[in-house]
Homo-oligomer: A and B are copies of this chain.
Amino acid sequence: MVRGELEERSYHHGNLREALVEAGVELARSGGPGAVLLRAVSRQAGVSHNAAYRHFANQEDLLAAVGERCMTRLGELMVERSAQVAARGPVRRARARLEAIGRAYIDFARTEPGWFRTAFSSARHDAEGPAADSSAGSAETNPYLILGARLDELVEVGALTPERRRGAEFAAWSAVHGLSSLLLDGPLRDLPEAQIEPAIGVVLGVVNRGLE
C-alpha cells in the first residue's frame, strides 16, 4: 500500500498525508509557519492543489500536523542531549540532565528557528501540555513530559524538595521558552553573538537557584 518514493504513482498517491506533512516540515524549516501553504505542500508532493483537502480540513489543520511534527523533533533533540550527559553522581547527573534539555531547547530554537516557530504557531495542539491524554505523539518525545521526568529525577535524588517540585515545570519551561522566543522574535533578536551564551547561563542559573 505504501509506495516507495521513486515509484511512479497512478492517480492515487498511496501515502499522501504523510508526504504532505513531510513537505510541510521541509518548507517550515526555511520559511517558518508562513511557508506551510496548502498549495505549496501540494506542489512539493507532486499533487494538485486541493488534494490536501482529502486529508486536512483546512490550512490550519495542516499547520497543526506539521507543528506537531516539529514539536516531536524538539523532543527528540532533548532526549538525545539528555542521554549524552556523562556527569557522575546522582545529584550532579540529575542536575546536568535538566540543564541539558534546557540547552537543547534553546539550541533547537536557534539552529532551527523555522521549526521552532512552527511548533508553536498552531492554534490547536492535540495532546500536549499537562492535559495530555494518551494519544498522538509518543510520550517519549513530548517536551513537557520530558521536562517532568527530569524534575522527578531531581526529587528522587533529593536535589529538589517535593514542595518546590510543584509547578516547577512552569518555571523551568517558561524561562527557557521565553529566552528562546526573545532571541528569535523578540527584542533580543539582535543581541550580539558574544552575549548570547552568557545570557543562557544567567537564565539557567536563576532557574537552578530558584528551584533550590
Contact = CB atoms under 8 A, between A and B. Distances in A.
A187 interface: yes
Given A125-B187, A175-B174, A182-B174, A210 B205 contact: yes
Interface in A39-85: none
B175 A129 contact: no
Given A178-B173, A202-B171, A191 B120 contact: no
Interface in A193-210: 195, 198-199, 201-203, 205-210
A63 to B, nearest CB: 12
A119 to B, nearest CB: 9
A141 interface: no
Given A120-B181, A120-B185, A181-B120, A203 B190 contact: no
A191 to B, nearest CB: 6
Interface string A99-131: 000000000000000000000110101001111
26 contacts: A120-B181, A120-B186, A121-B185, A125-B189, A129-B188, A129-B190, A130-B191, A131-B191, A167-B198, A170-B182, A170-B199, A171-B175, A171-B202, A173-B178, A174-B178, A174-B182, A175-B178, A175-B206, A177-B181, A177-B182, A177-B186, A178-B178, A178-B180, A181-B181, A205-B210, A206-B211
